[in-house]
């Protein structure tokens, strides 16, 4: 179990200096737009592998006209405290995020941290998750997978790299066929693993929602399924390789790759038939919260992972049903939550155990 006990910013985003301690359960930041609420969540999210909830360039994290930023926090893991320090290292005009755990930057320490900390995130744009492009939904699904498997991003990055290499090869009038065959074999192996991971993730969301129905009364039922012109249950790596070979001429002309998980999507069926894209903003938010609730259940009860939830600008469009879902998450799981909203009274429905922070006064 991981909990963040405190955090300290120096020259991070809009903060010259900021320091505070956290509640072990529920922390709520409120204040005017632009006051830095999301920046705090971003700073928290940088504790984990990657570039945070915004996926920003590291150089953009540094306060204007300053040389570097620094984030310090105390992280409690299995009742042991660890001092974590995050800053940027500049090399050849490129910035890289550096993390120290008790002044140690070894791979073993970073692996321990990455295996111990998992974030689940809600961002305001997720209110229209089912009206955006498939790439946004793919990224959302991949983040859920990543919350339970911290090497998953490496798989995605390798896949993109091999696709790029194949596209470059196909644009040449003459190329080494053996080289292309190997690249397509690598694409098929990794692409198939991504397909399987996404298919399993959707299946697990369905099963965990079903199991939660006994204790939580949802407003409507939802189910998930893969949407892909190529993927089916009978797909294997050999079929994948053959299909890539057959579509070389098409892919050469288009400059891309016609098939693969980079083209997939997922569908949500409401009450066995209604499409999620037709729902209101508040109802789409309900589905996202149900997915996060199911993912919490999956991580805690099946993977022995206790996630930390970052819910940004969650205070808007909070009807009775969405307030209930947030309360269900808070009451169901002994995990740490960080919520933001413009006004304190938006969170009047939560328990008195919450710790409130007025960011406008900083």
Q: How sure is the predictor about 166, in pLDDT bands with cuts at 50, 70 and 90?
A: very high
Q: Give per-residue pLDDT as tens, 277-335.
A: 888 888 999 999 999 999 999 999 999 999 999 999 998 878 899 999 999 999 999 99
Q: How far is CA 301 from CA 20, 123, 236, 237, 346, in A?
A: 31, 25, 31, 32, 31
Domain 1-118+307-362 coded CATH 3.40.50.300: yes
Identify the band that residue 109 occupies on the pLDDT scale cut at 50, 70 and 90: very high
Rg of the chain on CA atoms, in Å: 22
Distances (CA, A) of 214 to 210, 211, 217, 296: 8, 6, 7, 16
Q: For 260-293, what is each residue's pLDDT tens digit?
A: 999 999 999 998 777 888 888 889 999 999 999 9
**Cα 29 to the chain's mean position, in Å?**
20
Domain with CATH 3.40.50.300 in the chain: 1-118+307-362
pLDDT band at 126 (very low <50, low <70, confident <90, very high): very high
| Cα 44 from chain centre | 13
Percent of the chain with pLDDT over 90: 85
Burial class of 72 by CB neighbour count within 10 A (0 to 12, 13 to 18, 19+): middle
Q: Decide: helix, strand or coil at residue 136.
A: helix
Question: In terms of C-beta density within 10 A (0-12 exposed, 13-18 middle, 19 or more buried), how is residue 362 classed?
Answer: middle
Question: What's the CATH code, domain 129-305?
Answer: 1.20.1050.90
> What pLDDT shows up at residue 16?
95
Give the pLDDT score at 56. Answer: 94
What residues does CATH 1.20.1050.90 cover in the chain? 129-305
How many helices (H) and strands (E) the chain has is answered by 9, 13
In this prediction, residue 217 carries a pLDDT of 87
């Amino acid at each position: 179990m991981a909990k963040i006990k405190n955090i300290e910013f120096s020259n991070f985003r809009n903060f010259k200096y900021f320091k505070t301690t956290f509640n072990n359960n529920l922390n709520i930041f409120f204040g005017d737009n632009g006051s830095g609420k999301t920046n705090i969540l971003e700073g928290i999210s940088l504790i984990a592998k990657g570039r945070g909830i915004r996926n920003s360039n590291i150089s953009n994290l540094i306060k204007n006209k300053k040389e570097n930023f620094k984030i310090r926090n105390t992280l409690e893991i299995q009742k042991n405290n660890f001092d974590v320090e995050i800053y940027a290292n500049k090399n050849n005009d490129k910035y890289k995020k550096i993390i120290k755990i008790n002044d140690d930057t070894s791979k073993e320490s970073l692996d321990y941290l990455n295996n111990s900390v998992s974030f689940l995130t809600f961002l305001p744009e997720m209110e229209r998750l089912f009206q955006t492009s498939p790439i946004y939904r793919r990224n959302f699904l991949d983040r859920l997978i990543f919350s339970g498997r911290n090497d998953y991003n490496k798989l995605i990055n390798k896949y993109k790299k091999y696709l790029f290499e194949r596209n470059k090869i196909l644009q040449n009038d003459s190329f080494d066929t053996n080289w292309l065959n190997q690249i397509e074999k690598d694409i098929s192996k990794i692409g198939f693993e991504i397909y399987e991971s996404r298919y399993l993730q959707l299946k697990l969301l369905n099963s965990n929602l079903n199991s939660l129905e006994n204790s939580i009364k949802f407003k409507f039922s939802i189910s998930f399924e893969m949407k892909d012109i190529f993927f089916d249950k009978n797909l294997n790596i050999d079929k994948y390789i053959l299909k890539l070979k057959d579509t070389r001429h098409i892919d050469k002309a288009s400059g891309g790759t016609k098939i693969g998980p980079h083209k997939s999507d997922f569908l949500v069926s409401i009450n066995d038939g209604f499409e999620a894209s037709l729902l209101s903003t508040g109802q789409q938010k309900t589905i996202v919260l149900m997915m996060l609730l199911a993912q919490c259940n999956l991580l805690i009860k099946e993977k022995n992972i206790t996630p930390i939830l970052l819910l940004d600008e969650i205070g808007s469009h909070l009807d009775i049903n969405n307030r209930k879902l947030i309360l269900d998450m808070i009451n169901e799981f002994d995990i740490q939550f960080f919520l933001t909203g413009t006004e304190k009274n938006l969170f009047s429905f939560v328990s008195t155990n919450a710790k409130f922070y007025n960011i406008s006064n900083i």
